[in-house]
Amino acid sequence: MKSSTVVILMVGFVAYMWITQKPAVYMPAGAQNPTGGTTATQQPDTFGQILGAVTAVFNGLGSIAQTQSKTT
């Protein structure tokens, strides 16, 4: 097999792996990204991402300041 064919195949393989494994949300550098299994332990900033989305909705509603703590 010609070396250029090998290079093309390698580039194609890397591109395939990148596209199919691309996470729906950002994952920090160094985090594992298995092909199977849950993402539960692989999304260390799930809370932060959801908090950003919730806060954006709150700000859009013009709700009161978020510094009040919940009392029970």
Partner 1 sequence: MFLVPYQLPTQTYAAGSRTNITLKELPKTLQGLHCHLAKIQFDVVSFTPTFAANDVPTVNAHQIFDIELNDGNGVTRFKGNLNALRAKERLQTGRHRIPDADEGATTAARHFSRVLHIGPPQMVNYPSDFVIHTGALENGQISINHSALAAIDADLSALTATLRVTAWLMLLPEIRVPPAYQFLQEDVAAKSHQMTGRCRYESIALLNSSSYDAISAGDFAGIRLDFGRGDVIPTIDAEALRVGFLDDFAAGEIGGVLGEPETATDDNSRQGNRAAASVTALVATAADLQPVFWTRPGGKLNKLFDAESVAKLTWNGSQSGATVLYGRFLAQPPAVVAALAAKAVNAAGVRPGPLSVKTLSKQPPKPGMNGEFLPWKMKAL
Select 17 or 55, whichever has its Cβ closest to partner 1.
55
Query: Does 33 engage in binding with partner 1 (CB under 8 A)?
Result: no
Per the listing, tokens 């692989």 go with 42
Residue from 39, 45, 41, 44 nearest 23 by CA: 39
Region 53-72 residues binding partner 1, contact defined as CB under 8 A: 53-55, 57-58, 60-64, 66, 68-72
Q: Residue 62: left if φ>0, alpha if ψ -120 to 50, beta else—which one? A: left
Interface contacts to partner 1, rule CB under 8 A: 23-25, 38-40, 43, 46-47, 49-51, 53-55, 57-58, 60-64, 66, 68-72
